């Protein structure tokens, strides 16, 4: 049959009439994208609002944008980054770049930091748009799909494992429920079991950690009983994902398993697309395969929202400076989802006016007056405009103050080394820094007219050894001063011939990429040394040969990373392994430094470690005391709050 094209105006008129009906007819859509060994998924509400879950590894941006454009999505209303490993967030900055960029309004994550190039790019791209979330917060997509955060930062479980900090989101649409949780762990620590009761039964389970044996445990599956399970995995991954253990547990609980790729057959299977008209049932499609499923509840889509959210909980007002008060509260809940909060301020406790709004559980009120009392009320608002009852708190801004935080007593700083003097100041603009070698009897100037708001000054310690040194910070106008709580030591600089030691080793790389492994050498002697041609070996072969002209100065460090891509931005005393890898085993290995690759090369230093020093993701082993040839190796987290400190002292200070 021959058809004739409609005129342009008639076509546009019909599209305007039909588009809303088509949008509703398409229902809700959730797609796990095939981006190789990584994670990224897209949720689209019936009216077209979109949410992105994770951004895949670096290079995934093109795939994500192509899918979004194909679905007619030109703007992402919200994105959730489960955790800060590169295979989950390395490509999200790319989504906003290029001629085909898709802008993202806000990105929710667990609020932490991470030492990697991918993290730096992510943090830079979304500066001012990153919002930390906590369990209990709810969000609404177009007022049609509810997203509830059920885990973030381990839900109070103290852990340094980045996977365990994953943000986990439950998606609800009528009787349909899905769970998306990055690389959440089900073993040591077992966060899955902690949240299982809050999750309940599921239609869709976006399988944690690509099908790792350490996720999707039986306790979790006994409660959630997912109808279908989606696994995002690369066919060429070297981790054994998805593991037989995980697949067996999912099958034993009656869940149909769908994978983006299949390592067992080296096959690319493609995106996994789930659609649901009203939540009572859903269809999963991949390639030419399509299967219909019924939702467990069998209910109807949610109706109009007339219920107000609960009032924000545990409101706390904290004065952080003479001109700023920070507010914090626990998340409100709502039958559809909280979209934001309104903050009202008063100077008498009676007459309130709107101070601002927030999409997170915090608000910074700035531009205030010193020494004034302020009262606050915070309410929650949902997508329908319903406003909760208020929660109240009050506090008073401080007058000028000053506190030295480092050195604060007990430190040992090496003469001629550079260290940060730190302080906190309120209501001050310029400060003067001084030091004493006799416990505070006589003072010498370090610097004057330093910006007080920086809170830090890099000081080159004088060559004057002392066991009773102190530092004093004063307001240049005499309004306030403070000195450390106790004396610290200025130690004599290294002396004697050069001596190179293994000081820090990271065998259990952060995330899924072994490029993050590194070995740190430190010259603890008093003279520089040419290490050209020196080698670093593991138990099996040579992994790095230092280039000609490599000189290690006394008291300084040099770090060898498995790959140049893993070297943190700004780290100048680092090189990439000449072999392209370090191949350090998590179960144990031997690291050796020799002065030559010849058979008679002299062993400079060597250390054999066991699994206990490589058991935690991203945590290095370090000499204790740091940079001491007499010290043994311990987990880095026993020395400081940092998980590793390549090229720097254990506390993050410069060598």
Q: Is 651 within a domain?
A: no
Is 287 found in the same domain as 186? yes
Do 210 and 36 form a contact (C-beta atoms < 8 A)? no
Is 105 found in the same domain as 43? yes
Q: Is 516 within a domain?
A: yes
Name which of 527, 425, 519, 407 is nearest 472 in CA terms: 407
Beta strands 518-523 and 391-396, pairing class: unpaired
Is 195 found in the same domain as 61? yes
Is 70 found in the same domain as 180? yes
How buried is 641 (Cβ within 10 angstroms: 0-12 exposed, 13-18 middle, 19+ buried)? exposed
Structure confidence at residue 303 (pLDDT):
52
| Number of residues assigned to the chain | 655
Mean pLDDT of the region 539-563: 95
Token reading at 511: 């995330």
Last residue of a domain, one of 463, 491, 519: 491
Structure confidence at residue 8 (pLDDT):
31
Phi, psi of 117 (to 5 degrees): -60, -40
Last residue of a domain, one of 351, 380, 396: 396
Percentages of the chain per state (helix, strand, coil), in multiples of 5? 15, 35, 50
pLDDT band at 29 (very low <50, low <70, confident <90, very high): very high
**pLDDT tens digits, 572-619:** 999 999 999 999 999 999 999 999 988 888 999 999 999 999 989 999
Structure confidence at residue 388 (pLDDT):
94
Do 106 and 131 form a contact (C-beta atoms < 8 A)? yes
Is 182 found in the same domain as 82? yes
Structure confidence at residue 429 (pLDDT):
81
Please tell me the total count of domains within the chain: 4
Q: Is 14 within a domain?
A: no
Structure confidence at residue 4 (pLDDT):
28
Residue 6 burial (CB count, 10 A)? 11
CATH number at residue 160: 3.60.15.10
The parent domain of residue 531 ranges over 500-638
Cα 447 to Cα 434, 475, 491: the distances in Å are: 7, 12, 22
pLDDT band at 26 (very low <50, low <70, confident <90, very high): low
**pLDDT tens digits, 87-145:** 999 999 999 999 999 999 999 999 999 999 999 999 999 999 999 999 999 999 988 99
Distance CA(97)–CA(232), nearest Å, equals: 24
Q: Is 601 within a domain?
A: yes
Q: What is the pTM of this model?
A: 0.48
Token reading at 306: 């007339």
Structure confidence at residue 632 (pLDDT):
93
**SS3 call for 231:** strand
Distance CA(320)–CA(329), nearest Å, equals: 16
Token reading at 632: 């043994």
Last residue of a domain, one of 396, 425, 446: 396
Annotate 273-314 with three-state secondary structure: EEEECCCCEEEEEECCEEEEEECCCCCCCCCCCCCCCCCCEE
- Element (H or E) spanning 14, and its range? helix 8-26
Q: Is 428 within a domain?
A: yes
Distance CA(337)–CA(533), nearest Å, equals: 62
Structure confidence at residue 304 (pLDDT):
59
Structure confidence at residue 19 (pLDDT):
36
Is 443 found in the same domain as 379? no
- Strand order of the sheet with strand 272-276? 130-132, 107-109, 78-80, 50-53, 41-44, 28-32, 272-276, 281-286, 289-294
Is 225 found in the same domain as 135? yes
**SS3 call for 220:** helix
Picking from 15-19, 311-315, 428-432, 468-472, which range would have the lowest pLDDT averaged per residue? 15-19
Q: Is 59 within a domain?
A: yes
Structure confidence at residue 25 (pLDDT):
41
Structure confidence at residue 593 (pLDDT):
97
Is 263 found in the same domain as 347? no
pLDDT band at 305 (very low <50, low <70, confident <90, very high): low
Distance CA(559)–CA(512), nearest Å, equals: 21
Angle at 39 between CA 569 and CA 201, to 5 degrees: 135
Whether the pLDDT of residue 153 is over 90: the answer is yes
Token reading at 266: 């080296």
Structure confidence at residue 522 (pLDDT):
96
Name which of 553, 541, 625, 556 is nearest 590 in CA terms: 541
Is 261 found in the same domain as 206? yes
Token reading at 25: 């007819």
**pLDDT tens digits, 38-70:** 999 999 999 999 999 999 999 999 999 999 999
Structure confidence at residue 9 (pLDDT):
31
Whether the pLDDT of residue 568 is over 50: the answer is yes
Picking from 410-419, 460-469, 584-593, which range would have the lowest pLDDT averaged per residue? 410-419
Structure confidence at residue 479 (pLDDT):
65
Is 511 found in the same domain as 480? no
Q: Is 604 within a domain?
A: yes
CATH number at residue 384: 2.60.40.10
Structure confidence at residue 599 (pLDDT):
80
**pLDDT tens digits, 487-517:** 998 988 777 899 999 999 999 988 878 999 9
Phi, psi of 228 (to 5 degrees): -130, 150
**Percent of the chain having pLDDT more than 90?**
76
Cα 580 to Cα 179, 273, 298, 489, 517: the distances in Å are: 38, 38, 55, 42, 11
Is 317 found in the same domain as 406? no
Beta strands 500-506 and 391-396, pairing class: unpaired
Token reading at 538: 């593991």
Cα 166 to Cα 35, 55, 170, 544: the distances in Å are: 19, 14, 13, 35
**Percent of the chain having pLDDT more than 70?**
95
Mean pLDDT of the region 202-225: 95
- Strand order of the sheet with strand 391-396? 353-358, 338-346, 373-382, 391-396
Mean pLDDT of the region 386-406: 90
Name which of 148, 137, 153 is nearest 360 in CA terms: 137
Do 142 and 337 form a contact (C-beta atoms < 8 A)? no
Q: Is 300 within a domain?
A: no
Is 114 found in the same domain as 37? yes
Whether the pLDDT of residue 625 is over 50: the answer is yes
CATH number at residue 514: 2.60.40.1260
Phi, psi of 61 (to 5 degrees): -55, -40
Q: Which residue(s) pair with 444 in the sheet?
A: 435
């Amino acid at each position: 049959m021959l058809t004739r094209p409609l005129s342009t105006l008639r076509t546009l008129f019909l599209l305007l009439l039909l588009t809303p009906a088509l949008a509703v007819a398409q229902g809700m859509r959730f797609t796990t994208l095939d981006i190789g060994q990584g994670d990224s998924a897209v949720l689209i509400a019936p009216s077209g609002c979109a949410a992105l879950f994770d951004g895949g590894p670096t290079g995934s941006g093109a795939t994500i944008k192509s899918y979004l454009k194909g679905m007619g999505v030109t703007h992402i209303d919200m994105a959730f980054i489960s955790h800060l490993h590169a295979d989950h967030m390395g490509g999200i900055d790319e989504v906003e770049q290029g001629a085909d960029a898709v802008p993202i309004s806000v990105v929710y994550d667990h609020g932490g930091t991470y030492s990697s190039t991918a993290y730096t790019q992510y943090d830079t791209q979304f500066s001012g748009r990153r919002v930390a979330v906590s369990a209990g917060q709810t969000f609404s997509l177009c007022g049609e799909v509810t997203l509830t955060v059920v885990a973030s930062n381990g839900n109070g479980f103290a852990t340094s494992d980045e996977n365990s900090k994953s943000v986990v989101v439950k998606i609800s649409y009528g009787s349909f429920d899905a769970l998306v949780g990055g690389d959440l762990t089900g073993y040591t620590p077992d966060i899955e079991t902690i949240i299982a009761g809050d999750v309940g039964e599921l239609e869709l389970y976006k399988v944690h950690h690509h099908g790792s044996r350490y996720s999707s445990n039986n306790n979790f599956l006994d409660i959630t009983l997912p109808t279908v399970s989606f696994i995002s995995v690369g066919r060429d991954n070297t981790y054994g994902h998805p593991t037989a253990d995980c697949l067996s547990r999912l099958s034993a609980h009656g869940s149909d398993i769908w994978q983006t790729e299949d390592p067992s057959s080296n096959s690319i299977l493609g995106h996994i697309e789930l659609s649901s008209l009203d939540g009572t049932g859903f269809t999963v499609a991949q390639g030419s395969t399509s299967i219909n499923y019924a939702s467990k509840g069998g209910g109807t889509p949610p109706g109009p929202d007339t219920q107000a959210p609960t009032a924000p909980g545990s409101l706390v007002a904290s004065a952080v400076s003479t001109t700023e008060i920070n507010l914090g509260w626990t998340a409100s809940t709502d039958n559809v989802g909280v979209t934001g909060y309104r903050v009202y301020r008063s100077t008498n406790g009676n007459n309130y006016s709107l101070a601002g709004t927030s999409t997170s559980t915090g608000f910074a009120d700035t531009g205030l007056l010193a020494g004034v009392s302020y009262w606050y009320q915070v309410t929650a608002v949902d997508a329908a405009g319903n406003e909760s009852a208020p929660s109240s708190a009050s506090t008073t801004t401080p007058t000028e103050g000053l506190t030295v935080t480092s050195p604060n007593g007990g430190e040992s700083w090496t003469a001629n080394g550079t260290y940060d003097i730190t302080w906190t100041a309120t209501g001050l603009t310029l400060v003067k820094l001084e030091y004493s070698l006799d416990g505070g009897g006589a003072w010498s100037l370090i610097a004057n007219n330093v910006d007080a708001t920086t809170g830090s000054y890099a000081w080159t310690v004088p060559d004057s050894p002392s066991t009773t040194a102190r530092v004093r910070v004063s307001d240049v106008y005499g309004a306030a001063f403070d000195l450390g709580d106790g004396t610290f030591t200025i130690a004599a600089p290294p002396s004697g011939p050069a001596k190179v030691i293994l000081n820090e080793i990271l065998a259990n790389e952060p995330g899924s990429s072994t490029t993050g492994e590194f070995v740190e050498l430190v010259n603890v002697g008093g003279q520089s040394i040419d290490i050209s041609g020196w080698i670093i070996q593991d138990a099996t072969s040579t992994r790095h040969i230092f280039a000609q002209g490599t000189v290690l100065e006394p008291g300084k460090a040099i770090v060898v990373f498995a790959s140049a891509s893993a070297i943190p931005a700004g780290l100048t005393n680092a090189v990439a392994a000449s072999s392209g890898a370090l191949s350090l085993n998590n179960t144990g290995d031997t690291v050796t430094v020799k002065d030559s690759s010849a058979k008679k090369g002299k062993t400079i230093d060597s250390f054999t470690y066991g699994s206990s020093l490589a058991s935690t993701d991203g945590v290095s082993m370090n000499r204790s005391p740091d940079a001491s040839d007499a010290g043994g190796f311990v987990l880095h987290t026993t020395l400081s709050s940092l998980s590793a400190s390549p090229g720097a002292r254990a506390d993050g200070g410069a060598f």
